[in-house]
Amino acid sequence: MTGEHSSKQYDMDLETIRSKVLLMGGLVESHFHDAMSCFRTGNVEQAEAVILSDLEVNRLEVSLDDMCSHLIVKRQPAANDLRTVVATGKVITDLERIGDESTKIALLLVMRMPANIIWPCSAATKLCACSHMA
């Protein structure tokens, strides 16, 4: 996250948090693209996988939030380090929300398929086109 500190354990804690945030970001990005793909293709099995995998995103969010809280309590970071840890907490929350929205997209597909509801082609196309902007 930032430069070297006198405590190697502190640096390792910061690196662990950074690595897990990157892992969570990649997972959320993958879920979003999978949700949009299954919405576009009507793949219910893929939508169900997206819904189930949201549990891992939620676990990561809780774990990372706990790690950030413990880091603040144990190490009492100041200035840049404190701002970095607090900003990381906000990023974690935002990533979890994006994961939840991806799950909602997948749920839309799962809920509409049994009823054979057909989305207007133009609406689905516009939604999928917007996903590429993210």
Q: Domains of the chain, with CATH numbers?
A: 8-131 (1.20.58.220)
Over 90: is that where the pLDDT of 29 sits?
yes
Q: What is the mean pLDDT of residues 88-116?
A: 88
Cα separation, 68 vs 117, whole angstroms:
44
For residues 77 and 49, the answer to whether their CB atoms sit within 8 Å is no
Interval 43-69: pLDDT, tens: 999 999 999 999 999 999 999 999 999
Mean per-residue pLDDT over the chain, rounded: 86
Dihedral sign computed on CA atoms, order 65, 20, 34, 53: negative
- Could you give phi then psi for residue 31, rounded to 5 degrees? -65, -40
Angle between helix axes 8-41 and 79-112 (nearest 10 degrees) is: 20
